[in-house]
Structure 1
């Protein structure tokens, strides 16, 4: 019978202290922190559900990672691996305490310009990997919105996608090989930096997207591709979400493959405009809007490639975007393109005008179900009285549906819980996924049974049993429904990406 965190028999505080004393002897170069600030920093991620660990470990070498896991198994100490902490589902919250294994300093990046590989440490930042690749004429496409802060280890843990996924794919499509440790402390390599490799079971892909529950990634080899030399960027406005999403279908049906095609609904843009109106900065926007104007729905589209490829697509792209649009703006240079993209990047924080708490659901639906989903979010808004601003990656059906409310209002909190449950059930009914790139973690654990049958979940648990027999690695997540509504959010903490 499969274990759970409740039956795993984790160490009490006395045994954890004994294990930590032994671990200090094994740490020759690494650091072990038990101070209040270090523990609080490691207690939460962007989901802001916090639980204090007993210690934060900063290993300096493979031997120290191995020692950590071996002692954790011996004494049954929970271990949660952490990078930047930019996860949005509580996936890096050490909900059962124990030790946090912080690999954010493992940030080495080495570009093999001949083979087109990046050899990176788990703590290397996504954006830094692409910057290093660009210096050699190469390109690392996955670009989650947190790319300036999120580590590749975290990207691998949740199989991150990002804005360019429709054309270029997600993290899994670029991971060639992984190095790391089983939860029991043995070192492993899944794959090699080779173009072809089929030796044994493909456990590399099993680790990708496993949310740090099946092993600890310390190094990765990533595939790079030739860097596109030219890009063209447009912003288009529509009277309704339906008009915008009909345009998305026309673009895809015409076999135009944009590198990015982002959708922004009217609720989201209303927040964005309200924020600028209050700041007196409406005049700085790359489009004209008067106070009191109704907010349109919008599409942001970018195509890239070499000069000839982009030139061939320019006219068709402009015509497709313009059909049914109120207006279309094309960026003339990189500075104007950045001004257009700033709209998408700042929408998320603008939503806090609708409530002090935001639930960000990264659901995915088939392309034909995009409009039914958007209509349903408006039904939920009407039913619960809570705002449901939505934006996302329209070309692959990955939408970020938000529910905004005030946490200290119990009645609003109850309505928010109802909103999320309704949306998750509708997503599955439409043939979609409850998560596309954020993972299950704590926040989505109550909905796993909506997506998977008992047999499917049982098979996953058996894999966990086989690789992590003591259930020490990132326990309390995914399989055990977590009632996030009973745990106060931490609101007096700012992350580097809060702006």
Structure 2
């Protein structure tokens, strides 16, 4: 195989956009999953416009060079891991945000951070609800690539529910516009939704039109502690049967203690589980909803239930939940799961994860977007101990198999990436897997777009 003609790529890009410096390339090899199989790219294109993305993809198509799209690098499944002999197309410089308050939309470039979109919308009295725990550092392009959810998704849905339009660069460099500022549009096949969650394997998003909603009203917060995750999960099932809070998050004792070690907040280190719920219902309904959730928790065996409307106290509890991944990373190397099940089966999922941890003699901390059945088992191990590494990898596979056996999914919002690709056929089955591959081959016949990820 001959080395691709990188000077010809440099000729079609402005100065400073293409880099081949070894130190810079090293910084673009990994996403937050620290995928050990990540390759080293030939070059990084730090695009500043859709036209530059097109130029890079046209060059890659002509030379049959793999292209790995990259946003903020905050992905957790190896979806942005670099490929040997390929190029990385980074969208981090494309951060423009335009708020059309009259239409209730934000028109944004893919490198814009989720937090920046929220801030721009808030200045117009509007809100962009998708709310990953990493919202301060993750990009809209990455959110779209994985169909990210977050802490508010139990009531307000996931990224796909807010994408009205996309500009996408296809595998041959063609730029297409799908959808727009229209709230309703059923002209043609629903291609727009095909790209949300496709992890850069079908095209590269260069612009998005996002639906905004009126700003969220005042919040009331309830927290409850339980002796076990199973008890807490049963409370979640009953709460979701009766109502839909705006937040319903869960942490186990390992996570509680990691968060307290990182920054003490006064959480009960002895608790087996910590549940945080919020209501943004209007008027008196807000207090009634919080009261009803507290009653459910008490009936489910909660050791302590606390309710508050104080914004600072509420934010302290939410901040503790957002800090979970960062706190757990301080405890060792990690493999992060993202499995989900139908909400009524959440107790079986958390109980099964605990059994796997015991059987594999490895630590599995659990945090969860409990209200929609999406959990994040966090496998912590000593990377210097080969036996511990082997046990952790078996546990990783066991957790995915458990979720599938419960009618669930191997990923609720982080994406398949490269970390879970081998498990995808077990969930989808032969026919659906073949259908996925048919779509991939139709839109990327040369297989240059993010090879090795998802499919």
- Asked whether the two chains share a fold, i.e. TM above 0.5, the reply is yes
Secondary structure, counterpart of 2:356 in structure 1 = helix
Report the TM-score, using the length of structure 1 for normalisation: 0.87
Contact 1:268 1:389 in 2 (8 A): yes
Aligned residue number for residue 470 of structure 1: 446
The structure-2 alpha-carbon separation of the partners of 1:59 and 1:347, relative to structure 1 and needing over 3 Å to count, comes to closer
**CA RMSD for the aligned pairs?**
1.7
**How far apart, in 1, do the equivalents of 2:253 and 2:110 lie?**
38
Runs of 4+ in 1 over 6 A off after TM superposition: none
CA 62–391 in structure 1, closer or farther in 2 if over 3 Å, else same: closer
Classify 1:29/1:413 alpha carbon distance in 2 versus 1 (closer, same or farther; 3 Å): same
Superimposed CA distance per residue, residues 169-221 of structure 1 (whole angstroms, 9 cap, x where no aligned partner): 00000000001211110110111211221121111111110000000100000
The answer for the alignment partner of 2:46 in structure 1 is 58
CA displacement 1:233-272 (0-9 Å, x = unmatched): 1221111222212211221222x21111001122322434
- Are the aligned partners of 2:349 and 2:403 in contact in 1 as well (CA < 8 Å)? yes
Mapped to 2, the partners of 1:127 and 1:436 lie a distance apart of: 21
User: What runs of 5+ residues in structure 1 fail to find an aligned partner?
Assistant: 1-11, 480-499
Aligned position for 2:217: 229
Deviates more, 1:172-181 or 1:295-304: 295-304
Q: In structure 2, what is the equivalent of residue 459 of structure 1?
A: 435
TM (norm. structure 2) is: 0.95
Structure 1 counterpart of 2:79: 91
The structure 1 residue matched to 2:65, chosen from 77, 89, 94, is 77
Structure 2: distance between partners of 1:217 and 1:414: 37
Q: 1:158 to 1:404 in 2, by over 3 A?
A: same
Residue deviations 1:315-374, cap 9 Å, x none?
A: 3233333332211223342211121123212232333465x2111101001122111111
2:127 corresponding residue in structure 1? 139
Q: Secondary structure at the match of 1:453?
A: helix
Q: Give 5+ residue unaligned stretches, structure 2.
A: none
Whole-angstrom distance in 1 between the partners of 2:316 and 2:180: 41
**C-alpha separation in 2, matches of 1:318 and 1:201:** 45
Contact 2:228 2:271 in 1 (8 A): no
Are 1:326 and 2:303 an aligned pair? yes
Whether contact under 8 Å (1:228, 1:306) holds in the other structure is no
Matched-pair contact (CA < 8 Å) for 2:278–2:290: no
Given candidates 363, 366, 369, the residue that maps to 1:387 is: 363
| Mapped partners of 2:3, 2:450: distance in 1 | 19
Q: 1-side partners of 2:200 and 2:266: how far apart?
A: 41
Deviations 1:439-474 (A, max 9, x none): 111110121121122221121111111111111111
Indicate whether 1:412 and 2:388 are aligned: yes
Aligned length: 452
Which residue of 1 is the match for residue 425 of structure 2? 449
**Equivalent of residue 268 in structure 1, options 238, 255, 259:** 255
1:184 counterpart residue number: 172
The 5-angstrom pairing of residues 297-336 of structure 1 reads 297-323=273-299, 324-336=301-313
1:169: which partner in 2? 157
The separation in 1 between residues aligned to 2:86 and 2:368, in whole angstroms, is 36
1:486 maps to: none
1:271-305 superposed Cα distances (whole Å, 9 cap, x missing partner): 344x26xxxx7xx5245x5xxx6333110111114
Within 2, Cα distance between the matches of 1:67 and 1:335?
48
